[in-house]
Amino acid sequence: MAETTASQKKLVKFIITRQDSPDSASYVEEFEIPYRPGMNVISSLMEIQRNPVNVKGESIAPVCWESNCLEEVCGACSMVINGKPRQACAALIDNLEQPVRVQPMKTFPVVRDLVIDRSRMFNALKRVKAWIPIDGTYDLGPGPRMPEKKRQWAYELSKCMTCGVCLEACPNVNDKTDFIGPAALSQVRLFNAHPTGEMNADERLDALMQDGGIEGCGNSQNCVRSCPKGIPLTTSIAEINKQTTKHMFKQWLGV
Amino acid sequence: MLIFENVVYEKGVRQFMKGYYARKLHSLLGVIPLALFFIEHALTNFGAFEGGPSRFNAGVKLLNDLPLVLVLEVVLIYLPLLYHGVYGLYIAYQAKPNNGRFGYERNLRYLLQRVTGVITFVYVIWHVYETRIQVALGNVTHEQLGSVMHDIVTQPVLFTLYLIGVISASFHFANGIWSFLVSWGITVGPRAQRVSSYICMTLFVLVSIMFVLSLIAFRRVEFQEASVWIDTVKSVLS
Ligand code: HEM
Ligand code: SF4
Ligand code: FES
């Protein structure tokens, strides 16, 4: 018990960028919450939810956020923490400089406070057909096998959780462009590498050779430095550059 | 059938103007012919450093003796430069740099590629106006270009601006080649991209040194040539 009282005296300061509705202006609110060992940004937000009082002692509407898995696999809790986009559930307070500044990923439409709308990413996956069409009226039988070596690197690409961090880090994903962003480009590489997915490779490349496709990449390479899953995004992008280039020449030469 | 073709045609044009192909053309023109011309230009100018006016003038003469030189100039330099430059300004305008938040080296080069592109745009207009356009207007002859340069770079402010111009253009050229190799899927893996970074940045330093030495060479008194037209250029500049 004595230990709890001692650590309760220690406070963690938060500076949170809030927004009441999609169209309203954002504002900054400060909070101080008691330190607990092992706490992270999500557990801190839960604490604010339990006791929604800001640093001035005013009772306020609790801060809204989104989370699911709490183990950095669903991608729902992405936000900008101390300037860098990352998963709040994996952001341990012990490893963060204080005060902790928390902002929504403004590359996406803000729904409320830290909740953003990542629909554009799911639409992008639909646009590039990031799946393998095997459904039909009869059993097509087993597909071709995938070489183990390829499976190993393809597995890394399959770890993408559509969290949006790479789009937030990209200087070419903004309101002046309609660049699809790194995540979907890497998914095209994944599905084009699959022995069955390969059969629809051209369709995916065609989708990336439309307005807002792969040409939007400007090689800042922030994405690969930011991806929490360590996905080799810039290798994927260069590989898709190669595939689209080949596809273009094939089309022109009528092969 | 005609309607069908029309639709295909319109779709084709629209697709071209907006997306992938327009950007690919921008990228291609950056290397062929622009980067190739840039290397040629660096070599000719370096002749001024190495062999003085006679060598430089020989280089200028060699180029001007090419058949259909005006056609070559327009097709291989002006049109590609116009397209690459204008589209490049648009690309630069579309960027939302975030170097404060992401202070990585590649991100810095991303920013510099755009900044040096804009500087190069302004610089090239100014430089072409002072040299090629003055020749076209009949104010100077090709043989007098060395002394035109002498007259410009002996003025400290203009010399500084020229230094900024040539160093910016050299960076844009060298880093552009790095970026081109990625954009066409030639350097794919991290190691290939790292090695090509070293090569391209070495190229940047070498080409910059060549241009700076040429500018210094043009300051030498042997490029001076007192005649009426210098006063003309001076009055244009002032
Ligand atoms: C006239 C003014 C110019 C402007 C405004 C301009 C602008 C740009 C911009 C913004 C890019 C970045 C494209 C990207 O990374 O997505 C670029 C790329 C490039 N520029 Fe320029 N540029 C100019 C002149 C030149 C010149 C004179 C050269 C030749 C030495 C050149 C060679 C290149 C190359 C090789 C690339 C790389 C293409 C790629 O990454 O796909 N540019 N330019
Ligand atoms: S590629 Fe990485 S950063 Fe981008 S959405 Fe997927 S997991 Fe997130
Ligand atoms: S809650 Fe799933 S990644 Fe953070």
Which ligand approaches the C-alpha of residue B182 most closely? 1
Q: Examine the domain organization and report whether A156 and A219 are in the same domain.
A: yes
Q: Residues near B123 by Cβ (< 8 Å), separated by ≥ 6? A: B161, B164, B165, B168, B169
- How far is Cα B110 from Cα B106, in angstroms, rounded to an integer? 6
The per-residue pLDDT for range B126-135, each reduced to its tens digit, is: 999 999 999 9
Q: Are residues A166 and A191 in the same domain?
A: yes
Q: Is the per-residue pLDDT at B230 higher than 80? A: no
- In eight-state DSSP terms, residue A111 is E
| Res. B228: pLDDT tops 50 | no
Same domain, A223 and A164: yes
User: Higher model confidence: residue B207 or residue B230?
Assistant: B207
Q: Residue B7 above 60 pLDDT? A: no
pLDDT averaged over chain B?
90
From A66, A74, A102, mutation site for ligand 3 pocket: most ligand atoms within 8 A of C-beta: A74
Per-residue pLDDT tens over the stretch B149-203: 999 999 999 999 999 999 999 999 999 999 999 999 999 999 999 999 999 999 9
Are A195 and A234 part of one and the same domain?
yes
Mean pLDDT, rounded, for A172-181: 97
Q: Are residues A203 and A164 in the same domain?
A: yes
CB contact under 8 A, A211 and B15: yes
Q: Which of B8, B17, B18, B20 to mutate to test the interface with A (most CBs of A within 10 A)?
A: B20
User: Does A237 sit within 8 Å of B184, measured CB to CB?
Assistant: no
Please, which residues have CB within 8 angstroms of residue B184's CB and are 6 or more apart in sequence?
A: A241, A242, A245, B27
> Domain boundary at A116, A141, A158, which?
A116
Q: Mean per-residue pLDDT for B54-77? A: 93
A140 and A249 fall within a common domain: yes
Ligand 1 mean position, distance from CA B194 (Å) = 20
Residue among B18, B95, B184 whose CB faces A171 most closely: B95
User: According to the model, what pLDDT value does residue B18 have?
Assistant: 66
| Ligand nearest the Cα atom of residue A161 | 2
Answer whether B179 touches A (CB < 8 Å). yes
Which ligand is in closest contact with the Cα of B24?
1
Which residue range forms the structural domain that includes residue A49? 9-116
Which of A116, A132, A157 is a domain's end point?
Answer: A116
Residue A32, phi then psi, degrees to nearest 5: -130, 120
Least confident of B11-20, B63-72, B170-179: B11-20
pLDDT, tens digit (0-9, with 9 covering 90-100), for A64-82: 999 999 999 999 999 999 9
Question: What is the interface size between A and B, counted as CB pairs within 8 Å?
Answer: 100
Cβ distance B97 to A243 less than 8 Å, yes or no, reads: no
Enumerate the domain spans of chain B.
2-237
Residue linked to tokens 């922030």: A222
pLDDT band at B224 (very low <50, low <70, confident <90, very high): confident
Q: From the CA of A237, how far away is ligand 2's center (Å)?
A: 13
Q: Give how far A7 is from chain B: nearest CA, Å.
A: 33
In this complex, is the C-beta atom of B98 within 8 Å of any C-beta atom belonging to chain A? yes
Q: Is B26 annotated as a binding residue?
A: no
A77 within ligand 3 shell (Cβ under 6 A): yes
Q: If pLDDT is split at 50, 70 and 90, which confidence band does B237 have?
A: low
Q: What residues flank ligand 2, with Cβ below 6 Å?
A: A 75, 160-166, 182-183, 186, 227-229, 231, 233
The domain that holds A142 is classified in CATH as 1.10.1060.10
A4 is a domain residue: no
* Ligand 2 closest atom vs CA A186: 1
Q: What pLDDT score does A9 carry? A: 73
CB contact under 8 A, A232 and B23: no
Percent of chain A with pLDDT over 70: 96
B-chain residues within 8 Å CB-CB of A214?
A: 20
What is the predicted pLDDT for the residue at A135?
86
d(CA A252, CA B180): 21
Task: Tell me the average pLDDT of chain A.
Answer: 95
> In this structure, are A33 and A76 located in the same domain?
yes
pLDDT for position B45: 95
Min Cα–Cα distance to chain B from A246, Å: 9
Q: Residue A169 CA: which ligand 2 atom is closest?
A: 3
pTM: 0.91
The DSSP 8-state label assigned to residue A25 in this structure reads P
The kind and range of the H/E element at A29 are strand A26-34
Judge if the beta carbon of residue A81 lies within 6 A of ligand 3.
Answer: no
Domain endpoint, select from A83, A116, A149: A116
Nearest CA owner, ligand 2 atom 7 = A160
Q: What is the count of structural domains for chain A?
A: 2
Q: Tell me, yes or no, whether A157 and A245 share the same domain.
A: yes
Query: The domain spanning residue A111 has which CATH number?
Result: 3.10.20.30
Apex CA A157: angle with CA A154 and CA A159, to 5°? 120
Q: For position B3, what pLDDT does the model report? A: 46
Residue A225: pLDDT band (50, 70, 90) is very high
B222 has a pLDDT exceeding 60: yes
What pLDDT is attached to residue A2? 46
Cα B20 to ligand 2 centre (Å): 24
Pocket test for ligand 1, best of B113, B126, B129, B170 (most atoms within 8 A of CB): B113
Question: Do A180 and A75 reside in the same domain of the chain?
Answer: no
CATH number 1.20.1300.10 is the correct assignment for the domain at B2-237 = yes
User: pLDDT tens, A141-157?
Assistant: 888 999 999 999 999 99
Residues A62, A30: one domain?
Answer: yes
Classify strands A100-103 and A11-19 as parallel, antiparallel or unpaired. parallel
Instruction: Say yes or no to pLDDT of B232 above 70.
Output: no
**Is B172 one of the annotated binding-site residues?**
yes
* CB neighbour burial string for A60-78, b if at least 16 within 10 angstroms, e if fewer: eeebbbbbeebebbbbbbb
For residues A229 and A145, state if they share a domain: yes
- How long is chain B? 238
- Provide the residue count of chain A: 255
Residue A104 pLDDT more than 80? yes
Average pLDDT of the residues in A224-238: 98
Q: Are residues A135 and A168 in the same domain?
A: yes
